Structure 1
């Protein structure tokens, strides 16, 4: 998964909700099937270090090609150092834990355990006094913990390998929660693709050097392993990031974050279809409780933002920076006035929110309109970037999973 930055503006009325929903679901599906590609690559002889190094190297090439085409302003100074650290340490660790778990336990259980990260983000935010522990959030946290206990106590987790897999999946959730918390320090206005490219490149270098030092990089005997790696990089890293980026522009970060919860459902369905994996009834109920807690965490922020006119959400994109990531939304100083159309009520509400926020109805200089690109909303990496998209509490940002 990859954590990323998803520029978006909630003050711009949605242009095509149906298309936005489709793009967000496409992003979730791309992150969701990453486990299928990984399992096939493992079966073809690739190990975790080699798979992740190749995945992020290929994804970096594609992302830098997009950056070269878009020509955005690249992060500099402290922002650049933070992005490099997020990739080399945060995303690399999170992805290593997640894909290490995939090699030991069922992908369905791994994906659901990873989604404990929104609750962990909330706990960190409360400890750091960035969020208040209100009843709704505490109820959601209790629901998430109960779901985890159901999944872990439902049986089917036997043997040291399975136990290690569960610990790795939970470690991936912790790593992603920390990754998202640190990524909140990135300033608004950073381009999603530029940040994601830096994160993926840093992760590739970090994992590659670690593999060289430990001697764990090995070429597979079956050439098909590289094909599965290419699919993982393109279809479960770059494509989901792009889908979430454009989907958020259509439906807003809150809706995108909730739609991203389809990711583990896609993983469960895909693994059942391809590998015959089945959750026990208790694990299924526990997984549903964890995903429900994510939606419960998100809705209060959505309502509060509607009243304030500003706010921030985090979208997870998969299990890593590209996933996933964070969706931070801010009010542009001079967002372009929307053209009157069928959504006239949305336009009026948008204008009213701008007025409440003290933003002039028209630009100060006639003919000079500063659009969202002038001060874009930042999305921290990525699903990662990751990411998968999840929102709530302190802001569930999408993860890079790996």
Structure 2
């Protein structure tokens, strides 16, 4: 018979896993929506600004009621730390991702972001005192070989479409490096957020982090474009609203609550369904090519990341 503490923790862990998997699915729709909106003529920064403008009122309301419910209010220092962490995970990582998606396929983007647990493991061991097992080494090798295969897949397809133009190589390489930087930023967010979530609670932490990212995005947009609404039509509004609510607000709360319940490591590796769903949607809805290199790259990355759990 299990101990009472184990019985109590099992439903908590199970619900945390469900939240993490659901968030992974919703996040997997984001690159599809973004690429579709790019086809409608939108660009990275205006899209990010509109997405957060639509999402921010939700975070303000949730954050207010979460604050009211706390018996012990967090300190100004704790709130400031949460805001800074939000800049890493929801401003910098999001902006780099959106710009990177202007250059690479949705399939490569999702696989690269899915590989961020490898960065969590490495950075955690180097700077956060987390254990590093020898079994992680083959997992890391598998993951990054898989990413190289997918990178080669994008290069091959781009070269075929542009008759081997050197600009195609530059475009894919630029996008790849931008999304790798996005994954690095999000890995740091995951590592820093565990302590902050414990202090503020998942709902208040997410609200503060997203509000901080929203303010930074508003400033960035204002400096580049001024206080001017992007040119919008019905299709652009529908896509942006869907992305703001179902690919931003809802999964962001799910991720924070999952981290609270099952920890950053298990949360980060639970997104196995993400690349698969993104690949299926990219092929069906965007007409992206699918071949053996896609299968091989995706399989290597997913096996590599899943082995980090062992």
Q: TM-score, normalised by structure 2?
A: 0.81
Give 2:307's match in structure 1, choosing from 293, 296, 311: 296
Q: How far 1:36 sits from its partner (Å)?
A: 2.2
What residue is the counterpart of 1:198 in the other structure?
208
- Does 2:279 match 1:268? yes
- Describe the SS at the equivalent of 1:156: helix
Aligned residue in 1 for 2:163: none
Contact (CA 8 Å) 1:54, 1:229: kept in 2 or not?
Answer: yes
**Which of 1 and 2 has higher RCO (CA within 8 Å, sep 6+)?**
2
* CA pair 144-72 structure 1, distance change in 2 beyond 3 A: farther
The alignment of Structure 1 onto Structure 2 pairs a total of residues equal to: 290
The 3-state SS of whatever aligns with 1:119 is helix
The whole-number CA distance in structure 1 between the counterparts of 2:29 and 2:90 is 19
- Displacement after TM superposition at 1:244 (Å): 5.0
Distance 1:66 1:248 in 2: 18
Gaps of 5+ in 1: 1-8, 300-402
Deviation of 1:105 (Å): 1.5
Partner-residue secondary structure (3-state), 1:195: helix
State TM-score, norm by structure 1.
0.64
Question: For residues 195 and 9 of structure 2, what CA distance do their matches in structure 1 show?
Answer: 27
Q: 1:13 to 1:84 in 2, by over 3 A?
A: closer
CA gap 1:10/1:256 in 2 versus in 1, 3 angstroms: farther
Seen in structure 2, the aligned counterparts of structure 1 residues 133 and 28 have a Cα distance that, compared at 3 Å, is closer
RMSD of equivalent CA atoms: 3.0
Q: Does 1:177 align with 2:187?
A: yes
2:135 corresponds in structure 1 to 136
- Kept in 2, the 8 Å contact 1:46–1:218? The answer is no
Deviation at 1:112, TM superposition (A): 0.4
Residues 149-177 of structure 1, C-alpha deviations (whole Å, 9 max, x = no match): 22223433541322221121112112222
Q: CA deviation at 1:125?
A: 2.4
Q: Tell me how far apart the structure 2 counterparts of residues 77 and 102 of structure 1 sit (CA, whole Å).
A: 36
Residue 8 of structure 2 aligns to a residue whose secondary structure is coil
- Structure 1 equivalent of residue 79 of structure 2: 80
Alignment partner of 1:237 is 2:248 = yes
The verdict on how the C-alpha distance between 1:247 and 1:197 changes in structure 2, with shifts beyond 3 A counting, is closer
Structure 1 equivalent of residue 46 of structure 2: 50
User: How many angstroms does 1:52 deviate by?
Assistant: 0.9
The corresponding residue for 1:219 is 230
Kindly indicate whether the alpha-carbon contact (under 8 Å) linking 1:72 and 1:191 is maintained by their aligned counterparts in 2: no
Q: Secondary structure at the match of 1:133?
A: coil
Q: Is the 8 A contact 2:111 2:298 kept in 1?
A: yes
Cα drift, residue 110 of structure 1? 0.7
